Structure 1
């Protein structure tokens, strides 16, 4: 379980760093989002020359799904995630949103129960 959580955290951190870098480039260079993303991909490709452009985009897309889920439920709740990073990355957007919504409802119910006692 700890290995899964560590892997999920790595995917989360990758996408967060990617988005932060895109934001920094857009701000510093005053360029559009697509151009900034292309520049970041080029920076990553220098570090990972054996990864094809298609595979890098797939990796980033999968990491984005993990990132969205953890942002939605809270990074501090990673210990409650029982799925692998691969399983999370294969979810559809609506499924991720449903999990986030369900998680929020569960957290609210538990908090309300604690407040009663």
Structure 2
């Protein structure tokens, strides 16, 4: 029984250590008109269609989704990479947003990048 427990614990610890969640390196926001543009730079060890960053989202301070950028393909040879989300309508009074990226295997990044929208 003890050896079964050790084997299971070893498997679980091994998989947790192998997780490669996406890392958001930078984000820039602009308001060219009435809507916003968000440029996000992401890094992740994409290996191909079986394991890659497949999107990122913009959230408010309460975790509500304000926008989503689908990433249509792996970026194996393009790391880090930057993609944009345009025409983002933010609720009036929004002073900060949070950005999280999603991996096709490991799910959502545990840390969200906080971005201030100005004074």
TM tier relative to shorter chain:
under 0.3
**Structure (1 or 2) with the greater helix fraction:** 1
The higher-RCO structure (CA 8 Å, 6+ apart) is: 1
Higher strand share: 2
Q: TM-score, normalised by structure 2?
A: 0.23
